[in-house]
A and B are shown apart, each in its own frame.
Chain A
Amino acid sequence: MTAPEGSEKMPERRQFLADLFRGAGAAAVGGLAWAGFLDGKKAYPTVLRPPGAVKEEKFLALCTKCGLCAEACPYKALVIAKPGDERPVGTPYFIMRENPCKMCRDIPCAVACPTGALDSSLMRDKDERGRDKLNINLAKIGLAVIDRETCIAYWGIQCDACYRVCPVIDKALTVERTANDRTGKHAILAPVVHSDHCTGCGACERACVTKKASIFVLPLHLALGESSDRYVRGWDEKDEQRIEDVSEETKTVTPRSEKSALEYLNKDGF
């Protein structure tokens, strides 16, 4: 009895192809499970990274989870995420309420990073003699945000705990005085954060006297909005410059936005 043509002809090749299909099938199944698991693991939008951290997406690719930044921190403020911490595992982050960034002038954490996930060159400027130097005040760990409803200073009770501990006092955090209309004779001395100077170090969050901090640091992308190209403070010359480079091309979203921003802002009678 002879086998049909081809069925026994090249058993080795057939076996190889069968193995290949099996392998590819198993790889596809394993790969999908693996990918699904990882996709759920990498999104933790509220994590506060060390000074000099590059954009989160790139940070997650570049950080090899070596922990050298945390080891370099003289205050042990940087925590390495453990499984179960609900943070991307192995990566460094701050818990500001417990141990905020102390804003070391030599920024040892960022300097220690061997892979470029923390880029100390983002915090370089010139000293008075024009020499290159590190400037921790350029750090952007996040931005302090105030809950005015629980902040006792906004109630009219005298408290300036956050203001006093702010390492960039009077720039990042100021106290604004308004009249207390309730009593008619007292002042309300309320803290206000300024995003251009706030480094997100978290000293204020640590110092806040309320049960749960009424001033707390959020990553910039959560704490800040973004103004669109279509609205301009016409009374401010500098703000006009903001839209100078805006392309005339426009993507139609509403009938109004069929026209370019410059056109409808400047020529359409606005």
Chain B
Amino acid sequence: MRDFMYRNRYLILRRLSQISILALFIGGNLYGWKVLRGNLSTSRLLDVVPLTDPFALLQMTATGNIASREALIGGALIFVFFAVVGGRAFCSWVCPMNMITDLANRLRRVLPAKAGISLRMDRNVRYWAAGLALVLSAVLGIAAFEWISPISTLHRGLIFGMGAGWTAIVAVFLFDLLLVQYGFCGHVCPLGAFYSLAGKFSFIRVRHLKDNCTHCMQCIEHCPEQQVLPMVGIASSFVTSGECTNCAKCMDVCSEHAMKLGFRTGKHNNG
């Protein structure tokens, strides 16, 4: 049991983080808890600090509307926070959709290999989707991604009522399970693309220590964004790609302590 806990230590922490954030939002609506009210699009922390999804703000700006000062401050706070801790830390530590797609990807490992088709898809589709979201926002006058986002559908659904929204969640689950591995979060999601760019120069980073590495390749095997780990077994260095979600799965599966979370500073950049 202790061994299991240790081998999944970051996974457990991530689930705790995701679930407690969700629970605080749900409690905020149902019982009036004042820790976090609203939802991931816009919220207030302790009834005072505004927090706003910066990508939603960007889309709103593209429609030609300027949000209130409060919303802009909230957007700046979130942007700076994730620019420091790793943009896509949002994806693996906050976003509720991560639990759905993680489940799909775990099932993918258990199911017989032929159960699903593994379509190949370009991982850059998400950047096109993010650009498209801004263009469509400008053309249609509404925040284009916010209106179809399965993340919002799931998150808002859990807080305010799901309605027919479950179909979108199931669609994402099946897409990941049967069509494209890491399909939604790793290929399509424009919010993830936005955070990839936002966290490009983040301070907290995964660091590979070549001297500990036994070339078992478990880290790459389990990484949802394998392209960010080209240095494994070759050189000690920080992960430089913004697409790394800081999910720390590589640390959970590495029995040799060859992967670490670290603070990226200039002089450590190459090891």
Q: What residues of chain A have their CB less than 8 Å away from a CB belonging to chain B?
A: 23, 26-27, 30-31, 34-35, 37-39, 41-42, 57-58, 60-62, 64-68, 70-71, 80, 82-85, 88-90, 114-116
Given contacts A64-B41, A66-B41, A115-B71, contact A38 B140 (CB under 8 A): yes
> Is A89 a contact partner of B38 (Cβ separation < 8 A)?
no
- B32, B71, B168: which contacts A83 (Cβ < 8 A)? B168
Quote the shortest CB–CB distance from B124 to chain A (angstroms): 7
Q: What residues of chain B have their CB less than 8 Å away from a CB belonging to chain A?
A: 28-29, 32, 37-39, 41-44, 50, 52-53, 56, 60, 63-65, 67-68, 70-71, 74, 122, 124-125, 128-129, 131-132, 135-136, 139-144, 146-148, 152-153, 156-157, 159-165, 167-168
* A35-B139 Cα distance, complex, nearest whole Å: 9
Q: What DSSP secondary structure best describes chain A's contact surface?
A: helix
* A34-B140 Cα distance, complex, nearest whole Å: 11
* A34-B153 Cα distance, complex, nearest whole Å: 16
Residues of A within 8 A of B37 (CB): 68, 71
- A34, A71, A83: which contacts B163 (Cβ < 8 A)? A83
* A66-B124 Cα distance, complex, nearest whole Å: 29
- B42, B153, B159, B168: which contacts A115 (Cβ < 8 A)? B42
Number of residue pairs spanning A and B whose beta carbons lie under 8 angstroms apart: 135
Given contacts A68-B37, A82-B163, contact A114 B42 (CB under 8 A): yes
Contacts A23-B124, A35-B139, A35-B140 aside, 11 further interface pairs with beta carbons under 8 A come to A34-B148, A39-B140, A61-B65, A62-B65, A64-B42, A67-B29, A67-B156, A68-B38, A82-B164, A114-B74, A115-B67
Given contacts A35-B136, A71-B29, contact A61 B63 (CB under 8 A): yes
Residues of B within 8 A of A70 (CB): 29, 160
Quote the shortest CB–CB distance from B111 to chain A (angstroms): 29
> Is B128 a contact partner of A27 (Cβ separation < 8 A)?
yes
- B39, B53, B129: which contacts A30 (Cβ < 8 A)? B129
